[in-house]
């Protein structure tokens, strides 16, 4: 077990539902600390770069268009096993398959509008935190 950082994005559907606070409360209740945050409207270029790993998948264009459909709340979360802990709090990608009590089960409408993003591994967490919060390591400690 180790203290990690992970990247969370509260997606446009959840921001529109006014549940930034409720979702962030779940992170805090699980022992994760918000160490950086910004509410932004992503450009197509930023969203496309961020999800570049999926660029050849059939859902890529819809995913990028969804991510730029409204503001998103981007947070770096820090804590014990933050990467897997956040994924557990989020629940499965498809909210119909998400465990009861997870963020996606409670707040997501569909596999496309699924409320939150979370980094899925140490390598992607480091890259994603650096993508949105360059210099975080320099300034937060």
| Contact status: 85 vs ligand RTP (CB under 6 A) | no
Structure tokens at 38: 């910004």
Shortest separation between residue 81's beta carbon and ligand RTP, angstroms:
17
Q: Which of residues 99-118 bind ligand RTP (CB under 6 A)?
A: 111-112, 114, 117-118
Place of tokens 């779940």: 26
Give the contact letters, 54-83, x = binds to ligand RTP (CB under 6 A), - = no.
Answer: x----x---x--------------------
Choosing from 49, 65, 93, 140, the residue that interacts with ligand RTP (CB under 6 A) is 93
CA neighbor of 136 nearest in space, from 39, 29, 6, 28: 6
Q: Are 92 and 106 in contact (CB under 8 A)?
A: no
| Distance in angstroms (rounded) separating the CA atoms of residues 63 and 7 | 18
Q: Are 12 and 109 in contact (CB under 8 A)?
A: no
- Establish whether 117 is a catalytic residue: yes
Which residues make up the interface to ligand RTP (CB under 6 A)? 54, 59, 63, 93, 111-112, 114, 117-118, 120
């Amino acid at each position: 077990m180790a203290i990690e950082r992970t990247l969370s994005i509260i997606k446009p559907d959840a921001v529109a539902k006014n549940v930034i606070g409720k979702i962030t409360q779940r992170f805090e209740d699980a022992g994760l600390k918000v160490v950086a945050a910004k509410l932004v409207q992503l450009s197509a270029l930023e969203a496309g770069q961020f999800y570049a790993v999926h660029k050849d998948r059939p859902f890529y264009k819809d995913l990028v268009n969804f991510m730029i459909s409204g503001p998103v709340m981007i947070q770096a979360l820090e804590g014990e096993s933050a990467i897997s802990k956040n994924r557990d709090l989020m629940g499965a990608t498809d909210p119909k398959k998400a465990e009861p009590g997870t963020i996606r089960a409670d707040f997501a409408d569909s596999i496309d509008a699924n409320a939150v993003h979370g980094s899925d591994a140490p390598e992607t967490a480091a890259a994603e935190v650096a993508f949105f919060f360059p210099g975080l390591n320099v300034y937060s400690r």
